[in-house]
Structure 1
Amino acid sequence: MKITLKPIADQVIVITGASSGIGLVTAKSAAEQGAKVVLVARNEASLRKAVEEITAKGGDAIFAVADVGDVKAVRAAAAAAKTRYGRIDTWVNNAGTAIYSKLIDTPLDEHEKLFRTNYFGTVHGALTAVPYLRDGGGAIITVGSIASDIPSPILSAYAASKHAVKGFVDALRMELTADALPIAVTLVKPSGIDTPIAQHAANHVDGEALIPPPVYDPALVAIAILDAAQHVRRDITVGGGGRLQVLLGTHFPGMLDRFGGLMTPMLSDKTRPKTRSTTLFEPVQLGQERSGVQSGRQTSLYTAAERHPAAMGAVALAGVAGLAAILLARRRA
């Protein structure tokens, strides 16, 4: 089975969660590069504005209003893409939400809704996309998180949902490979990204919710997504800081259990009042690309290297050397 992916300029790309944050930045970037883009989300006003901005700059885009937790709505969005453009080449599962709360304090209805969006939204999108990609080939790209690999306090339910997403995506890749289908399946795992997700979250902690540091700009995730739309990638971590956190958590799980809670104060700003509204159940806030609160890093050498295997080898060696230094320091302590 050979998977051949088209240049961005020749693609029809469906992006869920496209009314704000990573999805919106990716949609605009794809359109600027010549792709035909279908923006999917619940917030019609934000989608309409985004499409108007894209078309005003000469891009080609439409929108479909859908809650990814509703499989019928997702299928209708796919049908709209097929009706307008005749095909789908890449499907991007990006829609997501968050809850800031200890697990024991998380309302069950919120916990279930989060999984309906983050996990079942991915399931609905991927399983909807497969029939459209089965014959002509293409890519299914899912935005997970470094929380797909390590747990987190306070963002606990979010991390659990991203673990589930990783399990689903990895299993789907195995099955499509076994069936010799020409579909690339990629999991993109961003570190903390400067999007409005903290302001959109259901917040049960004191003060305004914050994105876990280090924080990166969403344009870096858009670059990773569009790279995976053109080249077969198994997974991509966006942000070397996040990758380091995963390495430390993987190799020193006991230490993570013991000291992971020290992250809690970094997840809220008690000097600022919390955003009371949440988009968990309804899209009550207009979409925007960035949070306006925590500016993100514009570059990531690690993520750039991931797209170039030769350079990635050097980065891996540097990572091994760094990990060895940490182990040596612990032994001497």
Structure 2
Amino acid sequence: MPEHRTTGRFAVVTGGSEGLGLAIAGALARDGADLILVARNRGKLETAAKELGRHGTVVHTVPADLSAPDAPARIAAHVGNLTDRVDTLVNNVGTAHFASLADTTVDEMNTMWHLNVQVPLLLSRQLLPALVNARGSIINISSYWARKMVAGRHSAAYSATRGALNSMTLALASELGPQGVRVNAIAPGAVRTPQYERSYLAPMTAEERTAHDEQIEHSYPLGRLGTAQDIATAAAYLASAQWTTGTILAVDGGLTIR
């Protein structure tokens, strides 16, 4: 077992127990950051911490449901007990409900607005002193759905939240730059995560799966879905790119250029 090290550099990653969040946490750890992972499921958090800790990374876990109104303040208090500096905050947690305008409910809209827009804003506010102290950066995980619509998948409410997150990224980059804090976002295309497998691919018949694969080859110039590592590589870049702020980085295999 490698010895743990304390680097003095901390990365806070929400939704850090699987999928994109876990991959991003791993990439930041490989670049020398110790980790504070936030997620709802304690078991998944413990598994993620063990996996990442094998590489010598110090991993702290914060079990929290970000849909709770007081979650950002409680998470910030937990982080404050560990460190007075946050070098990277990755706002990765989000949710999506796809429905036609007629079928979109107020509850669905409120849930998406809270998790996709308010939580990144509120957590950034709560951690702002620590981000300023580190001259750190915020990375918001957005989506191609802010820019590109897909025939047959109705996304008005969801796309609105992703567009809002992109605009918020630009506004915060302008506001916080003079304090030394950079703010960027990643807009992934479709990524083959455990959630994508469970909710989208698993219910498909063999014929639907074949049609899906053909559609991916047609829609993406690079001919494939993304991987979590594709997004993690981009996050590691933005975390270290000291003259990059206010960028919405499309990591989507070329999807949004067609």
What interval of TM-score do these two structures reach, taking the shorter chain for normalisation?
Answer: 0.7 to 0.9
RMSD: 2.5
Q: Where in structure 2 are the equivalents of 1:234-253 lying within 5 Å?
A: 234-245=247-258
Residue 71 (structure 1) shift = 5.1
Contact 1:191 1:238 (8 Å CA) reproduced: yes
Deviation of 1:57 after TM superposition, in Å, equals 3.3
Number of aligned positions between the proteins: 231
Q: Aligned partners of 1:134, 1:29: CA distance in 2, in Å?
A: 23
Match of 1:93 in 2: 91
Q: Name the structure 1 match of 2:160.
A: 160
User: Is residue 2:175 matched to residue 1:175?
Assistant: yes
Change (3 A) 1:69 1:123: farther
Deviation at 1:173, TM superposition (A): 1.7
- Secondary structure at the aligned position of 2:113 is classed as helix
Partner of 2:3: none
Structure 1 residue 50 displacement after superposition: 0.6
Aligned to 1:230: 240
Structure 2: gaps (5+ residues): 1-6
- Pairwise mapping of residues 1-40 of structure 1 onto structure 2 (< 5 A)? 11-40=9-38
Q: What residue identity is the alignment partner of 1:136? A: A
Letter in 1 for 2:180: P
SS in 1 for 2:59: strand
Identity %: 28
Q: What CA distance in whole angstroms lies between the structure 1 residues aligned with 2:25 and 2:231?
A: 12
Pair 1:126–1:86, CA change in 2 (3 A): closer
Return the alpha-carbon distance in structure 1 between the equivalents of residues 77 and 198 of structure 2.
Answer: 29
Corresponding residue number in structure 2 for 1:330:
none
Code of the aligned partner of 1:162? R
1:277-330 CA-to-partner distances (Å, cap 9, x unmatched) read xxxxxxxxxxxxxxxxxxxxxxxxxxxxxxxxxxxxxxxxxxxxxxxxxxxxxx
Maintained 8 Å contact 1:68/1:74: yes
Question: 1:77–1:70: structure 2 CA closer, same or farther, 3 Å change rule?
Answer: same
Unmatched runs of 5 consecutive residues or more in structure 1: 1-8, 246-333
The 1:22/1:59 distance shift into structure 2, 3 A limit, reads same
Structure 1 residues 1-333: aligned runs within 5 Å: 11-70=9-68, 72-152=70-150, 153-177=153-177, 180-198=178-196, 208=204, 213=216, 214=220, 215-231=225-241, 232-233=243-244, 234-245=247-258
Contact kept? 1:138, 1:183, Cα under 8 Å: yes
Q: Tell me how far apart the structure 1 counterparts of residues 70 and 130 of structure 2 sit (CA, whole Å).
A: 16
Q: TM-score of the superposition, structure 1-length normalised?
A: 0.63
TM-aligned CA deviation for residue 219 of structure 1: 0.5
Whichever of the two has the greater Rg, that structure is 1
Deviations 1:188-245 (A, max 9, x none): 11111112344666x9xxx559899442111011111111111043231103422314
Distance between the aligned counterparts of 1:54 and 1:102, measured in 2?
Answer: 40
Deviations 1:46-75 (A, max 9, x none): 111111222233221011122233453222
| Matched position secondary structure for 2:108 | helix
Give the residue type in structure 2 aligned to 1:216: G
Distance 1:220 1:74, change over 3 A: same
CA distance in 2, matches of 1:130, 1:69: 20
